[in-house]
Amino acid sequence: MLKVYIVDDDISVVKILENIIEDCDLGDVVGYSLGGEDTVNDILLSDPDIVLIDLLMPDKDGIEIVKDIREEDNNIKFIMISQVNTKEMIGNAYESGIEFFINKPINIIEVKNIMEKLSEKIKMEKILTQIESVVKKDDQKSIEKISKNPVLDVITNIKKILNKLGILGEKGGEDIIRICQYLLKTKTSIFDYKIKDLCNLLAEDNQKAMEQRIRRAINKGLVNLANIGMEDYMNSTFTKYSNSIYNFQDVKAQMDYIRGKRKTGGKINVKKFIDNIMAYQEIGDM
């Protein structure tokens, strides 16, 4: 059961969230705060998996608290809650390191759906961390045990992500899947290789062509995601992948480029992209 901490200067909101979490069996509420200077220390001492935090509070706003905690513990996941939903404010929240944004007034279905999505993400991250640990120890028995879990569906889940980014049908999308299959088969990390070496090993034609296709596909995904965000900042695909598969600052830069506010768009990193889709995968149609 995941540990959840709540931060909101309105005690009635705290109680509403606490009731939703407990009634829907979404986790154990290990503490709450109404804000103030002791909030950061209290959260770190409670060691939660997820923090639901209000954006606007009198002493220290939610974004400042998230940034302070990120400096101490980068494993805690944050869900921001606020009545304010301007694009600039939401953008600042994602840049601070949150996973999802919930609008007030609190909606039980929205809270339940987002909590379940984040729980699945945490579960997959723990599974992949466990696999990496097993591979390093070369413990064959543990590997056989882990092979029975949802990681067997990893390629199917990666295809779902590429499809939502609009690049599954791209030749570069097929190349990305080929690399992921190889990494899973060899139980290695993308950071163990140079991209050109992997392309040289796996390319059906030639290394340079495969590398270029992959970069074009990843860049197209960035452009597609930016366009989705411009149309609907709260779109589920945008909120899921703009700060997990891609770097939110690069997505925002691409949005500004499309709007004509910048001369260049966001940057892409092939290794980070592949590592991110290996770490963040959907189970079913969440």
> Mapping DSSP to helix (H, G, I), strand (E, B) and coil, where does residue 3 land?
strand
Q: What pLDDT digit, counting tens, does each position of 265-275 carry?
A: 999 999 999 99
Judge whether residue 17 has pLDDT over 70.
Answer: yes
Give, for 136, the enclosing helix (H) or strand (E). helix 108-137
**pLDDT for position 175:** 94
Helices and strands, counts by H and E, the chain: 13, 5
Residues 6+ apart with CB under 8 A from 276: 244, 245, 246
Go through the chain and tell me how many residues it has: 286
pTM of this prediction?
0.58
Q: Distance between CA 200 and CA 207 in Å, rounded?
A: 4
Which residue did the predictor score with more confidence, 92 or 162? 162
The mean pLDDT value for 26-44 works out to: 91
Which residue did the predictor score with more confidence, 88 or 221? 221
Q: Distance between CA 88 and CA 65 in Å, rounded?
A: 18
Q: Give 134's pLDDT tier (boundaries 50, 70, 90).
A: low
Q: What pLDDT digit, counting tens, does each position of 237-251 carry?
A: 998 899 889 999 999
The mean pLDDT value for 4-33 works out to: 94
The mean pLDDT value for 209-233 works out to: 94
Q: What share of the chain has pLDDT > 90, as a percent?
A: 57
Question: Helices in 232-269 by DSSP H: which ranges?
Answer: 236-241, 248-258
Q: Distance between CA 151 and CA 143 in Å, rounded?
A: 11
**pLDDT for position 284:** 40
Q: Distance between CA 2 and CA 178 in Å, rounded?
A: 34
**pLDDT for position 122:** 86
**pLDDT for position 240:** 87
Q: What pLDDT digit, counting tens, does each position of 54-112 carry?
A: 998 888 889 999 999 988 888 899 999 988 777 788 888 888 889 898 888 899 999 99
Structural domains for the chain = 3-118 (3.40.50.2300), 138-279 (no CATH)
**pLDDT for position 154:** 82
**pLDDT for position 54:** 93
Q: Distance between CA 163 and CA 20 in Å, rounded?
A: 32
CA distances from 44 to 27, 61, 161 (A): 18, 17, 32
The mean pLDDT value for 140-158 works out to: 61
170, two tokens: 């791209």
**pLDDT for position 90:** 81
Q: Give 155's pLDDT tier (boundaries 50, 70, 90).
A: confident
From the list 49, 56, 11, 61, the residue with the least C-alpha distance to 32 is 11
**What one-character DSSP code corresponds to residue 192?**
G
